[in-house]
């Protein structure tokens, strides 16, 4: 019986190790597809891979996170408002999954703010409503992790696009973009698939503020 038990343990460990390798490979494949995506169809296809991974890895928030990120980015490539909103509706479900699996997750709440900003991208008349929602989500993300560069950068973007008579504009956004630049330089990636995006976007807006 001891030999049988030992064989079972070895098999379980082997299967676990194999799935760990499969998980890493699946994530790398999905991230590569998202990175190469250019059209709405491409971004949706990448999100579907993340969705399948998320359905298997029910304890992990990262696959759902990237599923949402892919759809949010993809929403900017579309032209039809209804379809773009549908993409963001699906992205919201991914974010809800992230926060359910990992409460008080600064990265997930940052993505919530990013999604609200994308709602404005679909229809500019939503600016006042969703700008306030984005600010609220990003403030919460920064409260959960003051060193999150993406939260600070997106907050700066929120200020950048807010009219100056409401306290926004380039001048008021610049200090936040500068702070985000420092945080990006200091950030430490805790795991192979931890969020690390946003540095280039922050640099772009930093230069815009200095013009």
pLDDT given at position 191: 83
Task: Report pLDDT for 21.
Answer: 60
Range of the domain at 43: 2-209
Q: How far apart are CA 21 and CA 66, in angstroms?
A: 19
Main-chain dihedrals φ then ψ at residue 59, nearest 5 degrees: -95, -10
Per-residue pLDDT tens for 28-43? 999 999 999 999 999 9
Domain count, the chain: 1
**Residues in the chain where the model's pLDDT stays below 50:** 1-20
Instruction: Say what the pTM is.
Output: 0.89
CA-closest candidate to residue 134, choices 147, 107, 151, 116: 116
Structure confidence at residue 1 (pLDDT): 41
Give the domain CATH number at 32.
1.25.40.10
Residue 121 tokens read as 């991208």
Q: How far apart are CA 114 and CA 110, in angstroms?
A: 6
CA 34 – CA 53 distance, rounded (Å): 14
């Amino acid at each position: 019986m001891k030999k049988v038990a030992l064989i079972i343990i070895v098999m379980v460990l082997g299967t676990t190790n194999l799935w760990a390798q499969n998980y890493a490979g699946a994530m790398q494949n999905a991230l590569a597809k998202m990175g190469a995506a250019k059209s709405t169809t491409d971004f949706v296809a990448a999100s579907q891979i993340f969705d399948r991974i998320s359905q298997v890895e029910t304890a992990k928030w990262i696959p759902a996170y990237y599923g949402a990120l892919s759809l949010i980015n993809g929403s900017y490539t579309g032209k039809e408002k209804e379809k773009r909103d549908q993409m963001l509706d699906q992205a919201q479900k991914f974010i809800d999954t992230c926060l359910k699996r990992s409460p008080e997750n600064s990265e997930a709440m940052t993505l919530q703010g990013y999604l609200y900003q994308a709602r404005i991208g679909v229809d500019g008349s939503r600016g006042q409503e969703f700008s306030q929602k984005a600010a609220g989500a990003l403030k919460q993300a920064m409260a959960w992790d003051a060193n999150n560069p993406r939260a600070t950068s997106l907050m700066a973007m929120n200020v950048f696009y807010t009219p100056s008579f409401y306290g926004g504009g380039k001048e008021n956004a610049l200090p936040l973009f500068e702070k985000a630049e420092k945080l990006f330089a200091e950030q430490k990636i805790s795991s192979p698939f931890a969020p690390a995006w946003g540095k280039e976007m922050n640099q772009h807006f930093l230069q815009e503020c200095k013009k």
